[in-house]
Amino acid sequence: MKQSSLEITFLGTGTSGGVPMIACGCEVCTSTDIKDKRLRSSIMVRSSDTTLVVDTTPDFRYQMLRLQNKKLDAIVFTHPHKDHIAGLDDVKAYNYFQKKPMDIYANALTEEALQRDYYYAFSEQRYAGVPEINLHRIDESHFKVGDIGITPILVWHMKMMVFGYRFGDFSYITDANRIDDKEKEKIRGSKILVLNALRKEAHVSHFSLNEAVELALELEVPEVYFTHISHQLGKHADVSKQLPPHIHLAYDGLTLHI
């Protein structure tokens, strides 16, 4: 069955500290360009019937308020680092208004972290007002959330296994510095690819700007966006001029249709 058309919104495009970074006075952190204001990295994926979010950052509450989002069917996690899971407690607002638990999809490593950090949501004796969660463990197998088909893409964040995801012709990769050849084949044929590009200098667990450009060219995806950007990369307007025509810096609030 053909994947239904999707709307993808970048809820945040910054790295773990966000942009501007606390206590920093660099030219990026003091920029007045709205595209240089980056919350922690996350996306919303919408079909005609289903709305899901990839990761709940520390900014999750504000991201939902900023978008005035009233409906959320599920959350799909990439990995257990705090800048990707720290906002989960705020799903309790959706529990209240939607009158049902939130469906959560995570691999075993992330599931362990969620159960540890949000122990009160999984306790047999839960007090009032805690998040209500239906936790679904996923592996590398294709799965569906409502009418949205999802294929996990295994990538490496130094030594940590992280999941990227392909939604139809859209592939989303965050927090990676290496992708094995077998997993690259899952990305090929996408119409849009999102990759992390932390900064210009090399980093131990994230693609640098040049590494991300090289990978994008290798995979021959016709439209590419970079995310998980730090203040060290430079101003959005300046860096954008240095990129090939089909490669762009994503920014908070950017919406794509595919």
pLDDT score for 143:
98
- Report the alpha-carbon distance of residue 195 to residue 250 in Å, rounded: 10
Contact 232, 200 (CB under 8 A): yes
Sequential DSSP letters for 127-149: PTT---EEEEE--SS-EEETTEE
Residue-range domains of the chain with CATH: 7-253 (3.60.15.10)
Contact 168, 258 (CB under 8 A): yes
pLDDT score for 114:
98
Query: Which residue do the tokens 């709205």 mark?
Result: 34
Rg (CA), the chain: 18
- Report the alpha-carbon distance of residue 51 to residue 40 in Å, rounded: 19
pLDDT score for 3:
61
- Report the alpha-carbon distance of residue 57 to residue 48 in Å, rounded: 25
Reduce the DSSP state of residue 194 to 3 states and report it.
Answer: strand
- Report the alpha-carbon distance of residue 169 to residue 81 in Å, rounded: 27
List of the chain residues with pLDDT < 50: 1
Residues 22-66: tens digit of each pLDDT: 999 999 999 999 999 999 999 999 999 999 999 999 999 999 999
pTM of the predicted structure, to 2 decimals: 0.96
Cβ-defined contacts of 201-204 (< 8 Å, 24+): 201/232, 203/177, 204/158, 204/177
- Report the alpha-carbon distance of residue 220 to residue 184 in Å, rounded: 11
pLDDT score for 128:
84
Q: How many helices (H) and strands (E) does the chain have?
A: 8, 14
